[in-house]
Amino acid sequence: MTEFKRVTLYKIKEGADFADYLKGELKDYDKVDLEGEFDGYIKFQDAGGAQKTEDAIPWMKFLNSGFEEKQYTFSARNKFPRAIMALRIERNDFEDLHFVAAFGQHGDSFLNKDQIVYDFGIKVGMNICDDDGLRRIQTTAHESISRQTERQASTGASLGVFGINSEAEFLRTISGSVKPDYRGAIESFKGKDSIVIKFPKDGDVDWSYLATLCLKLEERYNSTDYRETAFKSYDVLRHENDPLVIESLDKLLCADIVAKRFDRIHLAPPEFVEGEDPTYAYVEIKDDDDDAPATYEDLRITELVEVPRRRLKDLTSDTIKRWSIYRYDAEQTKTYKLWNAYRCLVAEVDLDGRTFVLSNGQWREISEELKKTVEDYFAENDMAFVADFLPEGINIWSEERKENREEVYNFKAAESCAEIYLLDKAKLTVAGQKKYEVCDLLHSGKMIVHVKRYSSGAASISHLFTQGKFYAHAFATDTQCRADITAWIADDAEQPNVDKDKASFTLIVPEKNSDVDEKGYTVVFCILHDRPEFAIGDLPFMSRYELMLSHRFLTQDRKFKVGVALRNVELGAPDADVS
């Protein structure tokens, strides 16, 4: 009986072979063959760590169990071993199955993860988990701000105990114990893009056992049993794994990029970036560069494709994956690679009557159920808001920044109306941190206004709805936030606020939470655009989805009124006066 008790398993996409997903040359791997069950390759490598021998590594005993003589030995100080085992299982009348088992620290470093089935672990986990045995849940929200949440129970619990909003949050990871039918093979699991299996204490795990387990997990991956459980909302945004569909989506995406149709394409960081106000570059910069390439405060698809000598002809997704996005360190005057550009793309594409979204390098299909939910919500809720105090036709060119900036609109709106206070530069306290701009404009009629420009190829419009939800909640519940607003207004001596009746604004910012009557306040989303005609329905689907979530939260979970004001603006430097 082996002491091997845990394994991490990946499923490989259909049509891929060993050379497609194993890094390096196959000649550098050991060939393995369990006749009639599977064949494959193993790669073993030492890595940093503490003193170990093979006798202290249960999975090394497992790998050696398939050979007549011990194949892998290990003895070192300050070392840890790692390995990968790729296996192909042949099936009569069906395409071969490929799986990868990873062992030790970073055993998956030998694996090309472009070739894995991204929802393998999560789907298997949903189909094998004990309904009352969940231990940990991680979710993410599909918004411009990456919001990841982890919930952990002190004992096994049902999904309902974790309090997940199935319309706003999508599962990333689940872990727990398994249903009785699977306890003979699996004690517990953690499912995400891979699945981590913990074996029962009395289990005897050898190569044949592993091959049999992979076939069981394949059956569970293809099952739709989870649709009859609390996990049924998972299909609202389903991972797309069909390589032919993904190829078609990538071709449509590339065609839009070549034609510079960016209405439904933008760039966004795929993960949180530490530090304040990161600066990005699309070309590597070294400290000895005499003529350094441009750097940017935001990621924009228009600037990505306009990099000098960037070739768009015959563009493919593989080409985009070779485009790098860097973080620029001004002190060292050099760049550090963060991601490939494909991972940063956020896009919507229609294919054969179906709508797909690309986020963090993965395609998901928007379900018909979700589409109908959004359409019905907007049919039942008229969000149009007149807001006569917000001007039309403002030129938002910033001569100082040489850019079109919504802050120019904010200044001119406050300058033209005595009932508007400009707050877009006020750094206020929310949740103990004094760094947030709670709104752009505050109207004395108890209107909290957030302003963003809808720009082709920019993610800012989604951020508008997210920040409105976040900051309205803070305004209603955070006494320090409101105290900061009052203090900032009292101390402010800048234009265009200096001559305003400050008391009329501080009067609508109560000191106590109990004095905040949310029903008396309106959260206004002001969308700037430069089109002859523009309506809420012209927003990308996922932006409308996020608007729905924000509207529902603010009006149902909270008690605010909510409106959307669309304002046409002029772009570019005004024509010079002709005398």
DSSP secondary structure, 120-172, as one string: HHHHHHHHHEEEEEEEEEEEEE-SSS-EEEEEEEEEEE-GGGG---TTTEEEE
User: Between 458 and 407, whose confidence is greater?
Assistant: 407
Burial of 277 (0-12, 13-18, 19+ CB in 10 A): exposed
Give the residue-averaged pLDDT of 433-453. Answer: 89
Taking each continuous run of H as one helix and of E as one strand, the counts in the chain are 14, 30
Local confidence band at 465 (pLDDT 50, 70, 90 cut-offs)? confident
**Which of 68, 1, 12, 74 lies closest to 40 in space, CA to CA?**
12
Distance CA 500, CA 408 (A): 19
Residue 222's pLDDT is what? 94
| pTM of this structure | 0.69
Is the per-residue pLDDT at 147 higher than 70?
Answer: no
Cα 93 to Cα 520: distance, rounded to the nearest angstrom: 67
* pLDDT tens, residue by residue, 116-133: 998 899 999 999 999 888
The rounded percent of the chain whose pLDDT value lies above 70 is 87
Write out the H or E segment, with its range, that includes residue 395. Answer: strand 394-395
Distances (CA, A) of 432 to 419, 438, 480, 481: 29, 14, 8, 9
Mean pLDDT across 155-173 = 63
pLDDT surpassing 50 at residue 327 = yes
Q: Among 482, 524, 478, which residue's Cα sits nearest to residue 506? A: 482
pLDDT over 90, % of the chain: 50
Answer for the pair 356, 366: CB distance below 8 angstroms, yes or no.
yes
Residue 85 pairs in a beta bridge with 42, 101
pLDDT value of residue 121: 94
- Span 395-409, mean pLDDT? 90
- C-alpha distance from residue 98 to each of 13, 21, 83, 85, 273 (Å): 8, 10, 17, 11, 35
Taking only the tens place, the pLDDT of each residue in 234-250 is 888 788 878 889 999 99
pLDDT score at 133: 83
Asked if pLDDT for residue 493 goes beyond 50, the answer is: yes
DSSP 8-state code for residue 456: T
Which structure tokens are listed for 224? 């739709």
Place of tokens 């018909």: 368
Give the single-character DSSP code of 575. P
3-state DSSP call for residue 84? strand
173 falls in which pLDDT band (50, 70, 90)?
Answer: confident
